[in-house]
Structure 1
């Protein structure tokens, strides 16, 4: 498994170079604007809890790898609650007709966010515990990059508004370490998993595909942020 984890780390470093993260680091831009993509990410963020509950988690289980995954899902299945709190703190929680909210959530602007969900469901629905483990590791790696930048922005926002975020903050980053939740013993157990040559090759392909999916999602967030320059605007879609 060490080779797969090394590939994930390599891809993570490449992922960190995507333009959105340069945008998020640009202190000449209002910090709230640098998180203006948050509504666009809502379909993915709000689905992530259910991905953990209904796709990653499998109980009861006698498989030690699945047992580790199950434990991890209980950490990750409720972060969307913090996201809802932060929408208000970022001045993005504007009144909206229910029909307009639905229109936005299924609009072209959020299609990459929805598409990422579908891809994760696709690769997780029939996945072995090893494959689920890889999907989670990639998700954790990409999340760690995102929240490393977001946590810095939230400190700027607090200095301006005196409002403390939780989702886009150190509070969340502390559990988005880049790896599955667990002790050093669990990390060593994962590293020492032996894979057949066929399983190893499938794992390499899965890692490549997943980073491509997350890259497409991230690039869509940047387009949204640049097209919504007024972070106080109402998303009244026609």
Structure 2
């Protein structure tokens, strides 16, 4: 299992080099423009709570790893509320006809957010607790990269507008450690787990496949941010 966790850390470091994160750290660009991708991520962010409630959580359980997963899901299933607050504070809360909102959420522009959700559901719907740990570690790793940079932008926006972000902020980052392991005694449960050769190969494939989907999603956010100027977003609001 330690080899699988090492691969996740390697892929995390590669993920951190994606061009979206350079864009988000470019202070020559308006800070709100650097978060202009937020609407494009809505499908993923709003579904994350249900991933935790309905796919990762299993109750009742006698499995010690699943018990820890359940605890984690209760900490992670409500962050979408903060995202909605931030959309208002960033003035991205556009007024749309219900049909137009649905068209956007299921548009070509947002297909990678939907595909990411579908893959997460696929890999967790019949997963073992160990497989769920792997999925959680990947989502935590990618989220930590994103939120670490977004929190700095949130500080810039507060300094300019006096409006406090909660999703794109240290407030959110502080409850996202970037790992499920290293806490709640889960390291002690995982360190002695020996995966069979076939199980280890499946785990490696899971890591590779999910990081590929997260990368596609993240690259699509950059395209959206570059093609949707905040002046247009504010005018349309």
What's the TM-score once normalised by structure 1's chain length? 0.95
What are the ranges of 5 or more consecutive residues in structure 1 without an aligned counterpart? Answer: none
Measure, in 2, the Cα distance between the counterparts of 1:187 and 1:76: 19
Please list, as runs of the form range in 1=range in 2, the aligned pairs for 1:23-62 lying within 5 A after superposition.
23-62=23-62
CA apart distance, 1:231 = 4.8
Please list, as runs of the form range in 1=range in 2, the aligned pairs for 1:17-28 lying within 5 A after superposition.
17-28=17-28
Distance 1:141 1:148, change over 3 A: same
CA contact (8 A) 1:124 1:131 kept: yes
Runs of 4+ with deviation above 3 angstroms: none
Please list, as runs of the form range in 1=range in 2, the aligned pairs for 1:60-99 lying within 5 A after superposition.
60-99=60-99
CA apart distance, 1:230 = 2.3
CA apart distance, 1:175 = 1.6
Segment of structure 1 superposing worse, 47-56 or 192-201: 192-201
Please list, as runs of the form range in 1=range in 2, the aligned pairs for 1:132-143 lying within 5 A after superposition.
132-143=132-143
What's the TM-score once normalised by structure 2's chain length? 0.95
What are the ranges of 5 or more consecutive residues in structure 2 without an aligned counterpart? Answer: none
What are the superposed Cα offsets for residues 85-111 of structure 1, whole Å, 9 maximum, x if unpaired? Answer: 000111101211111111111111111
Distance 1:148 1:213, change over 3 A: same
Measure, in 2, the Cα distance between the counterparts of 1:122 and 1:234: 37
SS of corresponding position for 2:233: coil
Measure, in 1, the Cα distance between the counterparts of 2:232 and 2:207: 38
Residues paired across the two proteins, number? 236
RMSD (Å), alpha carbons: 1.5
Measure, in 1, the Cα distance between the counterparts of 2:103 and 2:34: 24
